[in-house]
Structures are given as C-alpha cells and as structure tokens.
Amino acid sequence: MNASAPARWELQPLPYPYLLFLGDTTEPTLAKTAFGLRDWIPERCVGEWGCAEGTVSTGLPRLRPREARARGARGLVIGVANMGGFIGERWVPLLVEALEAGLDLVSGLHAKLADVPELRAAAARCGRQLIDVRVPPPNIPIATGRKRTGKRLLTVGTDCALGKKYTALALARALAARGRSADFRATGQTGILIAGGGMPMDAVVADFEAGAAEMLSPDAPPDHWDVIEGQGSLFHPAYAAVSLGLLHGSQPDVFVVCHEPGREHVHGYPDYPLPSIAETIELTVRLGRRTNPLIRCAGVSLNTSHLDPIEARDLLAREAGELGLPAADPMRPGREFERLVDSCLA
C-alpha cells in the first residue's frame, strides 16, 4: 500500500442482534436498509418495529423494544434510507423507548443521532450508545492514481436503489464459493452494517472521494478480488459526483451494470429519463479508462423481482443477446448467474 495512505478503516463493533426500525415509511424502496439486513444477515435480526403510520414490513416479528431485548437484541438499527437522511419527529419517542429498554441505537442516516437532544439525553441517562456509521474516518488522503495490486470489481448502476449492493454481495459470495480470495467492500450504510466496516462514500468531501476509494481497496495479492459496492449513477442529477469519485478511485478491472427493467426515469426525478444499459457501459468505460485503461464490462445484473420466473428468464436471454454480454439476476441462482461470474473471471 502507498506509504502515505492510512490503513483500511473498520467500524467499532456493532451491537447485534438487531431490532429493525421502519419509522413511518410507506414506500418499500425507502426501507432498503431494513430489507438488506434481513436478506443478508438474517441471523442478526430478531424483529421489526415502527410507527403506527408505517405500512412497510420486512416480514419479521413485530416486537416492541423490551420484547426484542428479551429475545437477545442488543441494538436498534434505523432501517430507513430516506431522501436527505433525516430523523423523523415521529420517530424520536420510539427511539427513546428503545434506549430505555436497553438497546443501543445504530443509524446510517446523514443526520446524526447525538444531534437530537432527546436521544442524546436518553442515551446518557440509560448508559447506551448512539452509533452513526455514515461517518468517514479521519485523514482520508487525496487520491494518488497509482495502480494497485490485486483485482477489483465494481458494480455500477443506471440509477440508485436497484441492486448494486445485492449484486456485489452475491458476486463476492460466488467468487469465494469457487475458491477465490474475495472480499465485499461496502460503500453505503446498509453494506457497512452488513460487512461491519467500509467507507460511507456519500459522506466524504468531494476532493477526497477517489482517495477514500483507494483507502477502501488498497494493494492486495495478485489473485485477490475486492468486490466493491457501487453508489448512485454517473447519470444521476444529484449523486453523480460520488459515482465518479468511486469509479476513479477503485480503478476497477471489471464492472457489472445494474438495472431495474421497467424503470423509465431516475427515481425521484421524473424529468430525467433513465439511461440505457448500453449508454451506461459506454460512459463507464470512457471515464474509467482514466485510471484503469484496461477496464471492461463483464455483464449486466437485472433486478427482476417484479417478474415471474419465466418472464425473468426470457428477459435475461433477450438482454444478453442484444448486448452480447451475460445478463443475470443474482437473486435467481442458475446458469445465467454462473455465466456472469465466468465473465468476471475471464
């Protein structure tokens, strides 16, 4: 590793098992943190809880904090990733109840738990922790642009919230299953909670984005794979800066494009049409070549959760034929996904 760069940063130990807090959420896409924890570390999730106004459920048992504590929960995780990352006023009394029940609070929101006076006072009174995971480490270096040893795979997207994290997790697991040395490198709050460490890229000052990506994935043995969770989209009207810094700093040898079929506009921005997969490949290669001239696209990951198995299989075959690249849904194991893994390793 570059002698001037600090070692990879890890979080303090997190207080799991978790009670997942859904707030007053009525839109499933805003509860992606709760769903991600349920899907990838179910053994660390004992139940869910939220405001009476909320309509979203993960399917886990509905438990009040004292009930969850009796079942072994040690922390309450805010499972909502709302636009702006704020702590809702309706949430505060319920979060105080969790602290009084003996649970630490864990959040990946932009807003900090300790900035809420009621939570700060309750945590001090009850001797509990307020843990924010969306806090970058100190002394992030400016990117060097130096080519690092090891192999890197980055998931990129046509938009936000459509499968970059799930794809990276599935690919890291598949590589390990094939006997390859591979690590999932988290770049967002949900991934950090799953992995227990990472880099909250969207909380890093812009000048240090690429340096943070270098710090997340330093030199490694030649046959080791860092599978890096993508963020945002190069086409996003608000978040493209994070995506570009991550692309330049991670210097991926391989990238996989993630897309949700049927989505036509950037989520939350109806005046901005979604780019095509082909446009996303072309722009990623063009910009990625700045720090890795050999960057290539290994294939496409499609979120087909809204389709039945036959429709999904037909769509994957059609997209693969049109693009000339493997197309798979990582949550539907089978030959399509194995071809995608083969292409990553080619």
* Cα 265 to Cα 119: distance, rounded to the nearest angstrom: 38
Residues 177 and 234 in one domain: yes
234 to 6, 157, 203: CA distances (angstroms):
28, 8, 17
Mean pLDDT, 10 residues at a time, the chain of 346 residues: 44 89 93 95 97 96 98 97 87 98 96 97 98 93 96 97 96 97 96 94 96 96 98 96 98 98 94 97 98 98 96 97 97 96 97
Specify whether 102 is located in the same domain as 161: no
Q: Which of 250, 242, 256, 245 lies closest to 164, judged by CA? A: 256
Q: What is the pLDDT of residue 84?
A: 78
- Both 104 and 157 in one domain: the answer is no
Three-class secondary structure of residue 339 per DSSP: helix
* Residue ranges making up the domain that contains 126: 18-132
b (16+ CB within 10 A) / e for 52-85: eebebebebeebebebbbeeebbbbbbbbbbeeb
Do 222 and 254 share a domain, yes or no? Answer: yes
Nearest to 88 by CA among 14, 30, 18: 30
pTM of the model: 0.92
HEC string of 47-92 equals EEECCCCCCCCCCCCECCHHHHHHCCCCEEEECCCCCCCCCCHHHH
In this structure, the strands spanning 104-107 and 75-78 are parallel
Q: Is residue 144 part of a domain?
A: no
Q: What pLDDT score does 130 carry?
A: 97
For helices 209-216 and 240-250, angle between their N-to-C axes, nearest 10 degrees: 50
241 and 109 housed in the same domain:
no
The CATH number for 93's domain is 3.40.50.720
53 with 85, same domain: the answer is yes
Sequence-ordered list of residues with C-beta below 8 angstroms from that of 148, at least 6 positions apart, any chain: 1, 214, 217, 218, 219, 220, 251
Q: Please tell me whether residues 31 and 93 are part of one structural domain.
A: yes
DSSP assignment of 259-325: E-TT--EETTEEEEEPPPHHHHHHHHHHHHTTT-TT-EEEEEEE--TTS-HHHHHHHHHHHHHHHTS
Locate tokens 């990506």: which residue? 213
* CA 7 vs CA 44, 120, 229, 249: distances in Å: 28, 31, 19, 16
Residue type, 205: V
Whether 26 is in a domain gets the answer yes
Q: What CATH code is carried by the domain that includes residue 206?
A: 3.40.50.300
Q: Per-residue DSSP letters for 95-118?
A: HHHHHHTT-EEEE-SSS-GGGSHH
Answer yes or no: is 182 within a domain: yes
Question: Residue 341's closest CA among 332, 46, 330, 263?
Answer: 330
**Other C-beta atoms lying within 10 Å of the C-beta of residue 26:** 12
Co-location of 280 and 201 in the same domain: yes
pLDDT at 8: 52
Domain boundary among the residues 102, 132, 162 is at 132
Strand partners, 209: none
Pair 319, 173 in one domain: yes
Indicate if 113 and 177 belong to the same structural domain: no
Q: Is 22 domain-assigned? A: yes
- Is residue 173 in some structural domain? yes
Phi, psi of 185 (to 5 degrees): -110, 110
Check residue 246 and give its pLDDT: 98
The structure tokens 């499972």 sit at 79
Q: How far is CA 62 from CA 53, 76, 117, 159, in A?
A: 14, 13, 27, 32
3, 219 Cβ separation under 8 angstroms? no
Question: Do residues 186 and 274 both lie within one domain?
Answer: yes
Q: Does residue 139 fall inside a structural domain?
A: no
- Tell whether 138 is covered by a domain: no
Whether residues 183 and 255 share a domain: the answer is yes
Domain termination residue (choose one: 100, 132, 164):
132
- Using the Cα atoms of residue 33, residue 38, residue 44 and residue 49 in order, give the sign of their dihedral: positive
Q: How many structural domains compose the chain?
A: 2
12 domain-assigned: no
